[in-house]
Structure 1
Amino acid sequence: MPIFKRKPKKKEENELQLDLPLEKIDTTNEGMVETTLSFHPDWELTSQEKYVYMFKHKQLPLLKPNQISITGMKLLEYQDGFVVVAFLRNTLDKAIRFDAVDLLLLDETGQAVAKKQFELDGMEELAPFTCRPWRFLFSNEDKLVEKMPEDGWTIAFELKQPREEHKLQLHESWENQISPLHREHLEQLVSTLPPLQEGEINFLGLECKITSDDNLAVTVLIRNGSDKNINLEQLPLIVEDAQGDIICQGGFKLDKFIVQANSSKPWTFIFPNNLISKPSPDLSKWRVYPPNK
């Protein structure tokens, strides 16, 4: 897929610094390192295409020793998304293999306009002090803005920060009602539960009981393992008893019910008695869950 376009007006180097020991590295320009261009063996390129890559490679600034760098060369709309052609460079004294990388496309102000994780097992090893061009296909779903920048963009590794400790979030109505002892119990529970996978959202049943007016009250801990807030507007739920029988199911409309990123929020859902399909359910053991779509 030969894809070339005019050079962006502004191009900056985005690099990941790795502190590893160096041994016998040939450097130029006061310690800076020059890389050798390497094409993947499966790439079929014409002589003209190879010349363009060689020319663009020669224009890249030299790197410091012990770096892994990515530099964008071209951005082109392609089918239901766009392709970024970029140079990956390695100035370590050993070959590296990329399993998966998280990449950000940035506009000229440094704001992210697209992001995606790429599996790069097909790229094979990148030898020491070499540079390899690669094509990264983004879909429209990977865009963070509607229109991609034509000029001034850069591509960079997304260096993820360590995740903050998962925390308890209480609705303001709960803040005013529960006792300090109850709050402490919930905080201990949240801190001792198995950690969520990144992006995982699940529901943990805390309490299920028949109320004095024969309704079913189910308290659920909504756990958000995502790095983004989630806004629940409608939530369908199913409740099963100890026998595995569905004892009730229904949908709930929620008003501005936001579960903050990396937080767990408890809420009590009341099923009216006309939705309880099993008389005298066995609540010695039970579970609550949203139906599969």
Structure 2
Amino acid sequence: MTSNDNLMRSNNVLEKEAVKIELDLNEYDKGVMSDFQKEFIIEELNELPPLEDGQVSINGIYTFDMEDKIEVSVYIRNGSSKQINFHKVPLLIVNNNGDIIARQTVDMKEFGILKPFCARPYKVYFDKINMLVDVISSDDWKIQFGKAVSTVNTVKVQFEGFPGEVHQELEGTFTKFLNKLPLIKAGDVNIEVFKTLRCLDNSISIVFLIRNGCDTIVKLETLPIIIKDEDGEIVASGVFDIENVNVNPHKAKIYDFTITQEYIVKKDADINNCKVYFRT
């Protein structure tokens, strides 16, 4: 086994107590990986260099030539007390002299959330066009994060319930919508529009999703809404009083809201082509 390690911080971990790292598989691997495979991975993790509290590392295990690209098997280890995930991550492969032999910016959104003090196997891919050598020597390489890399502390929220029978019947549809959204940053509150439609009385109905990434309950008393058409012209706007809008920590809720005619300034706008903004 080849083990190559890069830490986001350069402190000497041998001088401080190393953190204990546990295996954290994604949902797919949990379902298909045998106990033998899991035990093998744990053994590999135990052989990696120690990790200090607060560090996040990437460790290369092997490379595989796939004709047009190079597959690199790695372990991502989270030695911090917060869960993390990644977006676009600049990665480098260097030789033992520190010379760069490949570089690639990898979209790692699918990696998902990595729990505190946990590790996960993963595969990244380097396009051959980004290789500076023809062949990577099996004993003369390591993978490391680029200088611009940053982790994101995010929260995966879940629905805490659905108000009314109509919403309950659409639970599957709402859940699919929620799961397709990017993870919300810890401490943020986010509103996403599920649907807008024109009612028979020409009012506008908005079905929206509130996600609470905070550790406390979020309560909303007023909500600024602007609707604009394709040309950026205002269709409707106002700051509206709302009642009983509260979302528990790390949860999501669906709400309905109706904008009545007196707030609509462009009554002939095609609402299907409009955008909704929750701001003044």
TM-score for both structures, normalised by structure 1: 0.46
Task: Choose 1 or 2 for highest CA Rg.
Answer: 1
Q: TM-score, normalised by structure 2?
A: 0.48
